[in-house]
Amino acid sequence: MGLKSRRKGASGERQCAAYLRTLGFEDARRRMQSDGFRAGEVECLDSLPNVHFEVKYGYASGFGCGTALWHQACDQAAHDCHDREFAVMWREKSCTIWKLTVASPNGVGGAATYAGDQSIQDMLKWLNNGKEGSLIC
């Protein structure tokens, strides 16, 4: 991976962590990938310990629901999450809105994508609680 790509990824991870803090997950931070273990790129150890984050940021085009890149990100997150729930936080280059993709909450397979602060916040809390309780998005 080139230097420009790594910088873009690091910037996206910092921005994602900052966004999660605005949603009330005050412990959100970018995780350094120096140990060789594929942990989440962003973590909330206290507020969302059961959620594994994959962050995708700054794609000019070709990244959106249903695209090959989107499927790759979901597959990577599902593979790396181990016993936690996966969450792909993503934002296109020309967009200011973060989106969240998770495994389909109805349990039939596939994935679901959410946009909007309240929907994202509610979904992350629901995921962290083991998908228990009512879900209102």
List per-residue pLDDT tens for the chain, 137 residues long: 677 777 878 888 999 999 999 999 999 999 865 454 545 689 999 999 999 999 998 877 778 888 888 889 999 998 988 889 999 999 987 888 999 999 877 666 788 899 999 999 999 999 998 877 666 55
Give bridge partners of residue 91 from the DSSP assignment.
57
- Counting DSSP H helices and E strands in the chain, the numbers are 3, 6
Domain ranges of the chain: 3-30+41-128
- What pLDDT shows up at residue 107? 65
- What pLDDT shows up at residue 104? 79
- What pLDDT shows up at residue 103? 86
- What pLDDT shows up at residue 33? 59
- What pLDDT shows up at residue 100? 95
Q: How far apart are CA 114 and CA 117, in angstroms?
A: 9
> What are the backbone angles phi and psi of residue 87, rounded to the nearest 5°?
-140, 120
- What pLDDT shows up at residue 111? 86
Structure tokens at 120: 């994202």
